Amino acid sequence: MIISELKPLEELQQALSSCDKLFLVGCAACATACKAGGEEEVFKLQEWLATQDKEVTGSVVIDEACHIMRAARDLRHHRNAVQDADALVVLACGSGIQSISSNVEKRVVGGLNSMFLGNVRRFGYYEEMCSLCGECILNETAGICPVTTCPKGLLNGPCGGMTDGCCEVDAEIECAWRLIYERLQAQRRQGVFARRVPPKNWSRRRQPGRYRLTNGGR
Amino acid sequence: MSQLAQQLASGRFVVTAEIAPPKGTNLVSALAGARKLQGVTAVNVTDNQGANMRLSSLALAAQLQQSGTETILQLTCRDRNRMALQSDLLGAAAFGIENLLLLSGDHSKFGDHPDARPVFDLDSVQMLDMANGLMAGFDMAGKRLDGVPRFFPGAAVNPAAEPFELMFQKVTKKVASGARFFQTQSVFERGSLERFMAAMAPLRAPVIAGVLLIRSAKMARFLNANIPGVKVPQPLIERLECAGDPMAEGLAIARETVGWARELCQGVHLMTLGHEDHIPEILA
């Protein structure tokens, strides 16, 4: 899921300084799961806005804010409250915020910073394991992504900063290449170590990404 | 053919040192420092070392090269994508720079611009392949070059890294990708250097052992805490701590290390960090 966190309140205060009436939008998918933009957080935001002398005209938690059409539909159901507001405050990832901003003429204020595509290690603890690079090497690296979990994204083994099998960037973190090496050894496979990996094709990750299923998918 | 390449080919023990470009445009002390280096085959010019922004290694190396000092241009993958790396290498060739040390580079987080976006478009193995491609007359896109550079590409290694086999598989890749020599991270233990050199034997690539002048126990502890890949062993820290004259002890340690390197390796790389005037003592 997309991991996001509430922006610093001072930043929100500033962003909302010229708006008195606000409509609030949350997201029932990722932002709810990482406790940044669900029912509970929308309610807390409403309470905080009251202390800032702002009026909340209404709120909605959209099933998946990143779904542009669904966001449009949900906003239509709250047409009057939206109309009444000076701005919409969105507690969703950057993708969700833009679903909303592409559906309304009004000013949209994002309340969250989006961080990464995260795995849940345990409740409230998320780790980035995939950076959506468009050219997956996991089948050769024993299911551990060096593009993401090596801070340098190296493709041919560890850098000179590996110390006792740990990462130079954070000594608490095991070197991604060490983990790949150990797991491949346990599986008695050479995997990625059998070849020199050529430079990555970053054109696969050209932004903005666009993808269209053809023939209804494969 | 560079002097470095010639001397390594002829089996002569080589000595390299290093100079850091200034923070700013004042090259006076860097150029004067290079002139003072005695008994040195070539001088490494560091590239935003420790991820601290400085004048470009290519600019200083070009100046040194033109004033008659042979250089080893250091180039990291941290700050440039594959286009900029190729451009800089062609530029280096235009200035007569042949020796290269091609590195991944310390992560940006360690330096004075921790907010910078680290690039790492290539890794060091891929950069070696690229340099060899340029030498063969082609860029990474397969386009033919008008004027072909001549390089003597080298790579870095930390001989004491663990797990050893994991570190060494990358050394093997670097040799396969055209690394013609290795300069090592600072070595402090004879045993780990011996093990490394034994593994290197079949690869036939010359090794220049890194020797760091440690001036005090405090400096050793700072290095251990802050410099990736540097691990000064506790007994050495204690030697420096107990010494009446820590600088003299540091010089003695460096001299001992040079002694093992003369037995085991093909050269030494002296990292004296501003105390280049002590190089003759270390080599004595």
Same domain, A86 and A147: no
For A6, phi then psi, to 5°, come to -65, 140
Predicted confidence (pLDDT) at residue A217 exceeds the cutoff of 60? no
**What is the bridge-based pairing of β-strands B267-271 and B14-19?**
parallel
A145 plus A102 within the same structural domain: no
Backbone φ and ψ for A128, nearest 5 degrees, come out as -85, 125
Here the ipTM equals 0.93
- According to the model, what pLDDT value does residue B171 have? 98
What CATH number does residue B110 fall under? 3.20.20.220
The answer as to whether B250 is a domain residue is no
Distances (CA, A) of B173 to B87, B168, B195, B200, B253: 24, 9, 19, 12, 32
Say yes or no: A142 and A108 in one domain: no
For residues A86 and A155, state if they share a domain: no
- Please indicate, yes or no, whether residues A48 and A15 belong to a single structural domain of this protein: yes
Name A2's bridge partners.
A117
Specify the pLDDT at position B274: 85
d(CA B250, CA B252): 5
Q: What is the mean pLDDT of residues B203-228?
A: 94
pLDDT in tens, B100-135: 999 999 999 999 999 999 999 999 999 999 999 999
Residue B68, pLDDT score: 92
Between CA B230 and CA B103 the distance in angstroms is 16
Q: Do A196 and B129 touch (CB under 8 A)?
A: yes
Number of other residues whose CB lies within 10 A of the CB of residue B10: 8
Same domain, A6 and A104: yes
B275 touches B246 (CB < 8 A): no
Number of domains, chain A: 2
Q: Which of B56, B48, B60 is nearest to B113 (CA)?
A: B48
CA distance A97 to chain B (A): 25
Domain membership of residue B264 (yes or no) is no
Q: CB–CB of A163 and B229 under 8 A?
A: yes
The CA–CA distances, whole Å, from B125 to A147, A195, B83, B128 equal 15, 11, 16, 5
Q: What local confidence, expressed as pLDDT, does residue B255 receive?
A: 97
pLDDT bucket at A123, cuts 50 / 70 / 90: confident
Residue B279 lies in a domain: no
Q: Is residue B247 part of a domain?
A: no
Reply yes or no on whether the pLDDT at A201 is more than 60. yes
What domain range includes position A108?
A: 2-115
Query: Confidence class of residue A216 from pLDDT cuts 50, 70 and 90?
Result: low
**What mean pLDDT value characterizes chain B?**
96
Q: What is the pLDDT of residue A25?
A: 98
B-chain CB neighbours of A199 within 8 Å are 82, 121-122, 126, 130, 140
CB pair distance less than 8 Å for B106 and A154:
no
Whether residue B46 is contained in a domain is answered as yes
- Cβ distance A30 to A3 under 8 Å? yes
Task: Note whether B277 contacts A: Cβ–Cβ < 8 A.
Answer: no
* Residues of chain B contacting A193 with CB distance shorter than 8 Å: 169
Same domain, A20 and A59: yes
What is the reported pLDDT for B228?
82
Question: Do residues A157 and A110 both lie within one domain?
Answer: no
Q: Are residues A110 and A149 in the same domain?
A: no
Does residue B149 form part of some domain?
yes
B28-76 per-position pLDDT tens digit: 999 999 988 878 999 999 999 999 999 999 999 999 999 999 999 999 9
Query: Nearest 5°: phi and psi at B252?
Result: -65, -45
Tell me, yes or no, whether B83 lies in a domain.
yes
| Chain A residue nearest residue B186, CA to CA | A160
**What's the pLDDT at A128?**
97
The answer as to whether A123 is a domain residue is: no
CATH number at residue A32: 3.40.50.1860
Give percent of chain B above pLDDT 70.
Answer: 100
Q: Is B130 helix (H, G, I), strand (E, B) or coil?
A: helix
- Identify whether residues A43 and A69 lie together within a single domain: yes
Looking at the structure, tell me whether residues A41 and A6 fall in a common domain.
yes
- Is the bond preceding residue B153 a cis peptide, omega within 30 degrees? no
Q: Are B213 and B283 in contact (CB under 8 A)?
A: no
Write out the residue range of the structural domain in which residue B205 sits.
Answer: 3-211
Task: Establish if A85 belongs to a structural domain.
Answer: yes
Q: Are the Cβ atoms of A196 and B177 closer than 8 angstroms?
A: yes
* Residue B135 resides in a domain: yes
> Which positions in chain A have a beta carbon within 8 angstroms of at least one beta carbon in chain B?
151-165, 168-169, 177-178, 181, 193, 196-200, 202
pLDDT at A206: 87
Residue A210 lies in a domain: no
Task: Give pLDDT tens digits for A159-180.
Answer: 999 988 999 999 899 999 999 9
Residue A41 maps to a domain: yes
* pLDDT tens profile A21-80: 999 999 999 999 999 999 999 999 999 999 999 999 999 999 999 999 999 999 999 999
Count of domains in chain B?
1
Q: Tell me: do A100 and A151 sit in the same domain.
A: no
Q: Which residues of B touch A155 (CB under 8 A)?
A: 123, 125-126
- Residue written as token pair 């991604």: A176
Of A152, A168, A203, which to mutate for an interface test with B (greatest number of B Cβ within 10 Å)?
A152
